[in-house]
Structures are given as C-alpha cells and as structure tokens.
Amino acid sequence: MKVDLDSSLARWMDARLIEPEQADRIRQWELERVPEGRARWQVVAALAFGGVMLAAGVLLFVSAHWDELSPTQRMSLLVCTVGGLHVAGALAIERFRAFGITLHAVGTVSLGGAIALAGQIFNMQEHWPTAVLLWAAGALAGWRLLGDWPHAALSAILVPWWVGGEFLEGVNGHSDAWRVVNCGILLLAITYLSARNSDIDHHARTALAWVGGLALFPAAVAVSLERYRFGGGSGLTSGWMLLGWAGALGLPLAFAYLLRRNAAWVNVVSAIFVVALNLAAEQRSEVVVYAWCAMGSVGMVVWGIYEARRERINLGMVGFALTVMFFFFSSVMDKLGRSASLVVLGTLFLGGGWYWERLRRRLVAAVPAGGVA
C-alpha cells in the first residue's frame, strides 16, 4: 500500500533531516494505523447516503404533520429534532467518528429548516439573510468545535450566501447588484478551488476545493450571461457599486491570502480575469466572451501544472471543451446547413474529443514530476 508520506520522506532523507531507518519506522507506523484512521470508501458512501436520506426523512415527517400541530408542539418538535441529532452525534463520535460527524452534519442541515419554520411560527419580520446568518453561525460553531469537513463546506456556502443576500436586499435586487454578486461568487469559487496545495492539504481544504469546483462552471455561465438575462438598467449609485465591488473582489482575495499567503498572487490574476469577463458580457460581445473563457480555461490548466494540481488541469480541459461546444451551438451551427452542421459536430466530438482526452492524460501524468508548489 502506498503511503502519502513517501514523497515527503524522500525529501527529508535527501536533506539529511532523518535517517533511512527512521523513515522506515514512520512508514510502518502509518501503514499500521491506516485501517483505523481512514474509513473505506464504501463506509463513506453509506454514511453520506444515509445522512441525506435521514435529513430528507426528517423534513418529510415534519412537513406531513405540520398542520396538525399547535405552535408549542411545532417548536418542541424543531428543538427536539435538531438537539436530538446533535446529542446522538456527541454520543457516537467517540466510538465511530465518521458516524458521529454525519449525525452532527444532519443536525446542522436541519437547523436551517428549523430557523425558517420558527420564524413562521412566531410571524417574525421577513428578512431572509438574517435566517441564513443564524444558520451560518451554527455551521461555523460546528466547524470550530469539531473541525470536520461537512461543517467547513456548509460554512463556505452559507457565509457568502448571507453576505450576498444582505447586499441584494439592500439594493432591492437591482440587476447591477446581481452582476456584482455573480462576479464575487465566481472569484470565490476560484479561491475555494485553490485551497489545496502540496504543503498544506487536509479534509477541510479538500471540501473547499470540491465546493469551488462544483460552483465554478455555473458561476462562470452566470457572469457571462448576466447582461442577457437582466438587460440594461439605470445603474446603482456609486456608493453601492463601490461597496459591492469591494466585497466581491476584496473578500475572496483576503480569504485567498489566508489560505495561500504569497501564492495568492495567482488569485489576483483570476480577479482580473473575472472583471474582464464581466466587462465583455456587459458589452454583449459574444466572440470576446467565448475567447476570454477559452483563455481562462487554458490559464486554469497552466495553473494546475504550475502548482501540480490535477483537479485544476481536469477542470481547465473540461472548461475549454465546453466553451468550444457552446460557441459551436450558439454561433456556428445556425450558419451551416443541417447535414453540414451534424458532420462538423460529429467530427469535432470524435476527433477533438480523442485528441483532447489524450492531451489531458499526458498533462495529468506529467504532474507528479513537475510543479513548484
């Protein structure tokens, strides 16, 4: 079995920090603790599926009996559900940490529904970002106490949701505000994606990278198409626009510095990319938007090679292929005949897809031997 410390041990021996005998003892110790320190993927999959099903079952049970309960019974049910899940997680975490973490995560997810339903019970003033803030506070408290990746992922989603929601509510959902928020989400997704590096990598950073990778393409599409969906507008006041852009650019870059320190200069380059993409979409220049997305995809691949991160290479390759596909369907296909467009599309998928996959494998295979991070 291959141990993750092999490359580090080799570097330490080359630097004469440890002797080969010490490296062998460290490697043997790690091999002996792998079965107890890491859950097998089947166990992780079962826990994830069970957690989702448990959360869905709780929500369905509450919704099915909601109308039959008095306000006191409703509030008692909410408190017992959230509190019971966390109590069960606390009792199980010592014997089976993964199971306990799953129960705690389901309890925190249920907290969001409980906050919304509690507001409905007592007819509280409607300001939905406040509910998200309370939910985010619960997720942050769970991450601070447990240090687990589910709460880290929830916090990474809920905190930006609250910040963006407060800004949108403050300007009554103006189209320019949506433009700013979408740019902030895209830059934050890139920041999350860059959380992992060779020197510091743990479950929380991996969760951030997954959140960023999943949000990257939808956020890029939102920035590219924002002007087409909302059209023009008279514009916000300069004060609101300055505040919005300061948050959309400054907060993700500040978080990138906390995660990456001096390596955050790449995130500054990505901020320039996001602003330029927004400007191209604002001018409704399709060719420039597609060309800039293609350049961004190539930049993601180069970034992955530079920092020896395979997931960035894969995302960059997929992004470039999607950009070419969208460009063909939106700008080329309608200019060709039906048969010609199908022939070109088939050739593009077969020949281009084969070459692109071959190039991707070559780049990914070269990663362990290169990179500076």
Q: What is the pTM of this model?
A: 0.81
Q: What is the helix (H) or strand (E) element at residue 303, kind and residue range?
A: helix 286-306
**Domain boundaries along the sequence of the chain:** 1-38
Q: What is the pLDDT of residues 132-161, one digit of tens each?
A: 999 999 999 999 999 899 999 999 999 999
Please report the pLDDT score of residue 183 as a whole number. Answer: 96
Helix, strand, coil shares of the chain, percent, nearest 5, are: 85, 0, 15
Q: What value does the mean pLDDT take over residues 239-254? A: 94
Q: What is the pLDDT of residues 271-290, one digit of tens each?
A: 999 999 999 998 888 889 99
Q: What value does the mean pLDDT take over residues 95-122? A: 85
Q: What is the pLDDT of residues 46-69, one digit of tens each?
A: 777 777 787 777 667 766 777 777
> Which residues contact residue 111 at a Cβ distance below 8 angstroms, ignoring those fewer than 6 apart?
82, 135, 138
Q: What value does the mean pLDDT take over residues 10-39? A: 71
Please report the pLDDT score of residue 371 as a whole number. Answer: 45
More confident residue, 10 or 227: 10
Q: Note the maximum CA span of the chain.
A: 72
Cα distance between residue 79 and residue 92, in whole Å: 20
Cα distance between residue 317 and residue 111, in whole Å: 38
Q: What value does the mean pLDDT take over residues 327-333? A: 77
Q: What value does the mean pLDDT take over residues 213-220? A: 96
Q: Confidence class of residue 42 from pLDDT cuts 50, 70 and 90?
A: low
